[in-house]
Amino acid sequence: MKDAFGAPQSLLVLGGTSEIGLATARRLVARRTRTVWLAGRPSPALTAAAQSLRDLGAEVHTVPFDALDTASHEERLGKLFTEGDIDMVLLAFGVLGDQTHDEDEPLAAVRVAQTNYTGAVSAGLVCAKALQSQGHGSLVVLSSVAGERARRANFIYGSSKAGLDAFAQGLGDALHGTGVHVMVVRPGFVRTKMTRGLAEAPLATTPEAVALAVELGLRRRAETVWVPGALRVVMSALRHVPRPLFRRLPL
Amino acid sequence: MAAPTDFPDVVPMTGWGRTAPTLACVIRPRSYEEAAATVRSCGPRGSIARGLGRAYGDAAQNAGGVVLDMTGLDRIRSIDTTRGIVVCDAGVSLHRLMEVLLPLGWFVPVTPGTRYVTVGGAIGADIHGKNHHVSGSFSRHVTSLRLLTADGGVRSAARGTELFDATAGGMGLTGVILSATIELLPVETSLMSVDTERATDLDDLMTRLTATDHRYRYSVAWIDLLARGAATGRAVLTRGDHAAYDALPRRARRAPLAFRPGQLPAAPAYVPEGLLGRTTVGLFNELWYRKAPRRSTGRLQRLSAFFHPLDGVPHWNRVYGRSGFVQYQFVVGYGQEDALRQVVRRIARRGCPSFLAVLKRFGEGDPGWLSFPMPGWTLALDIPANLSGLGVFLDELDEVVASAGGRVYLAKDSRMRPELLAAMYPRLADFRALRAELDPRSVFRSDLSRRLGL
């Protein structure tokens, strides 16, 4: 169960090797979380991630999970909930793709869209249903500021996150009053292996900062969390910039 | 998304502190048979009884399962006016008992800070009042109770039996209490004779309480936890007894046993967050301390004003805003005054905005296995849940309490670390064993039992 401050005792991370996912797990393990399920494609990285959390004192299990294999989600994820309550699901998987390459290679672009959007729709619905029948829990979805308004530089990734963001908001509304809480997290540029080598955007942040924002958001039962918080203001201004001008901004 | 079940009454619920809502199907049985049928068919997520929802934390919530709203079972079955014994359903509130019993010259043996608790809840949490140092907890005055168990059967449990002691303070996890037989306290009037005095700091307060507690049936101290430095722990002591008929002025003698609790308008449904910050609460505390007379004796006060001042404002829990509040109540034994001093100092230094901090002395411990009181000092305080770093801070206080051999009150808890439970409640293993035998499928469970692994 979650405590009065929204700190969960059990956690499922979809995208078990995600740096933001793991930073969040570390933070929550330092509070109340004792059981962690790391779902991801079996790999040495996943095993190492599990071990790093075990070293912090948590009981960690790994679960084979592939965002693209949507047919398996129901069975793989549904099973976890029968073994005990899961207080929080963190939907943390996603790929950035390579915009220039993907524009020439539609199949690669489709893979980005399928991972970030289709996979999340499937896994998100499976988990939401399970959370709903246990009558409590949080579904935390890692969206991105990129989904707020598509930019020339990464509109494939951005559009997939836009879809995910809209999906998660709608799901949150659908689950309102069911005891299940859906929280959309919109980080800006996060310094991780996914963004290594890319030019850093203003207001760049770290996985640890995102983890902190998630913990605070859980406490407030927030529906939307921006990381850093200043992005809320920046994006609400950018959203209204006319397109001819927006196109020319150095973003 | 489609509703998870066909039950019309699937609703989100919280405790009185309004934190951590979960969804449950609420069923309000109107007879023992209906209650038994509900328990028998409650499904895989089990059921738990709920009274008037005054437990601060998640003791009467059951996520995804069934919550039995017991307030429909509210008959007073018999009153023995000569010996002072009442037999009533578990859903009867202490408020109702007072309404009925006071005109007959009897009072409930133990009342907490609110009248709006049911008899079932009072036994399940084994509540205490300002008279614990004299009278012990509520269940010490219960001679027997009837319990609906996991198999759907009804058992009687008399005082002194294992089943009784597991149920008293057992947070509803041994079964659903259906009715109880309670021994009452005779009173001549419905007024209290109250003495008030001020203490300048914590040590002064503890000295005064220790020296004079035994002279009063009821004794409690309100502490200003925002006062720092030399004034740390300054307090107002309020002690009282039921006023004798002879002590009443002529006008009051016309209806000496009248019970007329006043009521103010309810708190609004929406209150902005952060209303009770350090400044507002600091001002309130300053006023409250100054307002109290340095010393006054024999002032007559209504029962409701003496025992239940907050009941005058319905839904007062809303003033903490959407994120709610936590109540922290712990006890440390006599001889562990240093732990108490340490906790009070840390709270004062941190500046927790708490305008309801109450210190009192407990008497002899109670037989309930998970009963909270033990001989020692108990401090209770309300803190807004959105205070930053509060979770970690309270965990640190828990450590101080546990290492001093003390414990935290389960009826008020919403955040404790499960690892500390066994140290705080030495009879936990017995409780778990009895529960495993009585209810092997864990039909009775609550968010509290899941969170702490009770």
How many residues comprise chain A? Answer: 251
With 0-12 CB in 10 A as exposed, 13-18 as middle and 19+ as buried, what is B225?
buried
Amino acid symbol at A9 = Q
Instruction: Collect all residues of chain A within an 8 Å Cβ-Cβ radius of residue B416.
Output: 3
Q: Is B324 touching A (CB cutoff 8 A)?
A: yes
Closest Cα in chain A, distance from residue B245 (Å) = 47
Can you tell me the distance from the alpha carbon of B426 to that of B432, in angstroms, rounded to the nearest whole number?
11
The whole-model pTM stands at 0.94
Closest CA to B154 of B174, B183, B127: B174
Structure tokens at B318: 């809303």
Task: Indicate whether A43 pLDDT > 60.
Answer: yes
Can you tell me the distance from the alpha carbon of B72 to that of B56, in angstroms, rounded to the nearest whole number?
22
First to last CA, chain A: 43
Task: Indicate whether A45 pLDDT > 70.
Answer: yes
Q: Report how far apart, in Å, the C-alpha atoms of B403 and of each of B186, B399, B400 are.
A: 41, 6, 5
Taking residues B183-204, report their average pLDDT. 96
At residue A182, the pLDDT reads 98
At residue B269, the pLDDT reads 86
Label the pairing between strands B142-148 and B176-183: antiparallel
CB contact at 8 A, B135 and B182: no
Taking residues A35-43, report their average pLDDT. 97
Instruction: Collect all residues of chain A within an 8 Å Cβ-Cβ radius of residue B324.
Output: 4
Can you tell me the distance from the alpha carbon of B409 to that of B400, in angstroms, rounded to the nearest whole number?
15
Asked if residue A3 belongs to a domain, the reply is no
Whether B63 sits inside 8 A of A174 (CB atoms) is: no
Q: Is the peptide bond before B293 cis (omega within 30 degrees of 0)?
A: no
Maximal CA-CA distance, chain B:
66
Structure tokens at A17: 């090797």
Q: Report how far apart, in Å, the C-alpha atoms of B130 and of each of B73, B156, B208 are.
A: 28, 29, 16
Closest Cα in chain B, distance from residue A223 (Å) = 14
Closest CA to B16 of B380, B331, B410, B315: B315
Can you tell me the distance from the alpha carbon of B180 to that of B177, in angstroms, rounded to the nearest whole number?
8
Whether B323 sits inside 8 A of A220 (CB atoms) is: yes
CB contact at 8 A, A141 and A182: yes
Can you tell me the distance from the alpha carbon of B192 to that of B173, in angstroms, rounded to the nearest whole number?
36
Q: How confident is the model at residue B379 (pLDDT cuts 50, 70, 90)?
A: very high
Task: Indicate whether B239 pLDDT > 80.
Answer: yes
Instruction: Collect all residues of chain A within an 8 Å Cβ-Cβ radius of residue B21.
Output: 136, 179
Q: Report how far apart, in Å, the C-alpha atoms of B327 and of each of A181, B55, B101, B237, B377 are.
A: 24, 10, 31, 21, 16
Total Cβ atoms within 10 A of residue B417: 18
Tell me the H-state helices in B73-201.
Answer: 94-101, 119-124, 132-135, 162-167
CB contact at 8 A, B315 and B267: yes
Q: Which residues of A are catalytic?
A: 157
Closest CA to B337 of B425, B420, B409, B400: B400
In degrees, rounded to 5, the angle at the alpha carbon of residue B194 between the alpha carbons of residues B81 and B186 is: 10
CB contact at 8 A, B236 and B221: yes
CB contact at 8 A, B131 and B110: yes
Spell out the domains of chain B, with CATH numbers in brackets. Answer: 72-187 (3.30.465.10), 191-415 (3.40.462)
Q: pLDDT averaged over chain A?
A: 95
Task: Indicate whether A131 pLDDT > 60.
Answer: yes
CB contact at 8 A, B283 and B291: no
3-class DSSP assignment, residue A242:
coil
Taking residues A142-156, report their average pLDDT. 93
Instruction: Give the residues across from B76 on adjacent strands.
Output: B88
- Residue B252 has, within 13 A of its CA and on its CB side, a CA count of 19
Amino acid symbol at B167 = T
DSSP B382-408: EEETTSTTHHHHHHHHHHHHHHTT-EE
CATH number for the domain that contains residue A141: 3.40.50.720
Percent of chain A topping pLDDT 90: 90
Percent of chain A topping pLDDT 70: 100
Whether B417 sits inside 8 A of A32 (CB atoms) is: yes
- Write out pLDDT tens, residues B244-289: 999 999 999 999 999 988 888 888 888 888 788 888 888 888 888 8
Q: How confident is the model at residue B4 (pLDDT cuts 50, 70, 90)?
A: very low
Whether A2 sits inside 8 A of B385 (CB atoms) is: no
Q: Which domain holds residue A125?
A: 10-246
At residue B293, the pLDDT reads 87
Taking residues B196-204, report their average pLDDT. 95
- Taking the CA atoms of residue A161, residue A163, residue A164 and residue A168 in that order, the dihedral angle to the nearest 10 degrees is 140
Tell me the H-state helices in B175-259.
Answer: 202-212
Q: Least CA distance to B326: which residue of chain A?
A: A4
- Write out pLDDT tens, residues B394-437: 999 999 999 999 999 999 999 999 999 999 999 999 999 999 99
- Residue B45 has, within 13 A of its CA and on its CB side, a CA count of 24
Task: Indicate whether B38 pLDDT > 70.
Answer: yes
Amino acid symbol at B354 = S
Q: Least CA distance to A136: which residue of chain B?
A: B22
Can you tell me the distance from the alpha carbon of A39 to that of A89, in angstroms, rounded to the nearest whole number?
11
Q: Least CA distance to B391: which residue of chain A?
A: A5
Whether A177 sits inside 8 A of B24 (CB atoms) is: no
Whether B4 sits inside 8 A of A4 (CB atoms) is: no
Task: Indicate whether A230 pLDDT > 50.
Answer: yes
How many residues comprise chain B? Answer: 454
Q: Is B64 touching A (CB cutoff 8 A)?
A: yes
Interaxial angle between packed helices A106-113 and A155-174, expressed in degrees from 0 to 180 and rounded to the nearest 10: 20
Amino acid symbol at B48 = I
Asked if residue A26 belongs to a domain, the reply is yes
Can you tell me the distance from the alpha carbon of A247 to that of A226, in angstroms, rounded to the nearest whole number?
24
Q: Report how far apart, in Å, the C-alpha atoms of B236 and of each of B170, B298, B319, B428 are.
A: 33, 16, 24, 36
Asked if residue A4 belongs to a domain, the reply is no
Query: Using the 8-state DSSP alphabet, how is residue A118 labeled?
Result: I
Percent of chain B topping pLDDT 90: 85
Taking residues B328-343, report their average pLDDT. 97
Task: Indicate whether B6 pLDDT > 70.
Answer: no
Task: Indicate whether B3 pLDDT > 60.
Answer: no
Asked if residue A1 belongs to a domain, the reply is no
CB contact at 8 A, B406 and B348: no
At residue B1, the pLDDT reads 52
Asked if residue A129 belongs to a domain, the reply is yes
Task: Indicate whether A114 pLDDT > 60.
Answer: yes
Taking residues B306-319, report their average pLDDT. 92
Total Cβ atoms within 10 A of residue B232: 20
- Which residue in this structure is represented by tokens 């017991």? B70
Number of domains making up chain A? 1
Q: How confident is the model at residue A19 (pLDDT cuts 50, 70, 90)?
A: very high
Can you tell me the distance from the alpha carbon of A91 to that of A15, in angstroms, rounded to the nearest whole number?
7
Q: How confident is the model at residue B5 (pLDDT cuts 50, 70, 90)?
A: very low
Whether A134 sits inside 8 A of B451 (CB atoms) is: no
Percent of chain B topping pLDDT 70: 98
Q: How confident is the model at residue A99 (pLDDT cuts 50, 70, 90)?
A: very high
Q: pLDDT averaged over chain B?
A: 94
Out of B1, B45, B418, name the one closest to residue A174 (CB): B1
Structure tokens at B85: 């014994």
Label the pairing between strands A224-227 and B47-50: unpaired
Q: How confident is the model at residue B109 (pLDDT cuts 50, 70, 90)?
A: very high
In degrees, rounded to 5, the angle at the alpha carbon of residue B131 between the alpha carbons of residues B128 and B136 is: 55
Structure tokens at B315: 């839904």
At residue A249, the pLDDT reads 85
Sign of the alpha-carbon torsion through B405, B411, B412, B414: positive
Taking residues A72-85, report their average pLDDT. 94
User: Helix, strand, coil proportions of chain A in percent (round to 5)?
Assistant: 50, 15, 35
Label the pairing between strands A35-40 and A59-64: parallel
User: Helix, strand, coil proportions of chain B in percent (round to 5)?
Assistant: 35, 25, 40
Asked if residue A206 belongs to a domain, the reply is yes
Q: Specify the DSSP element, H or E, that contains B349.
A: helix B337-350
Closest CA to B394 of B377, B420, B372, B416: B416
Query: Using the 8-state DSSP alphabet, how is residue A39 labeled?
Result: E
Can you tell me the distance from the alpha carbon of B6 to that of B439, in angstroms, rounded to the nearest whole number?
27
Query: Using the 8-state DSSP alphabet, how is residue A117 labeled?
Result: I
Q: Is B321 touching A (CB cutoff 8 A)?
A: no
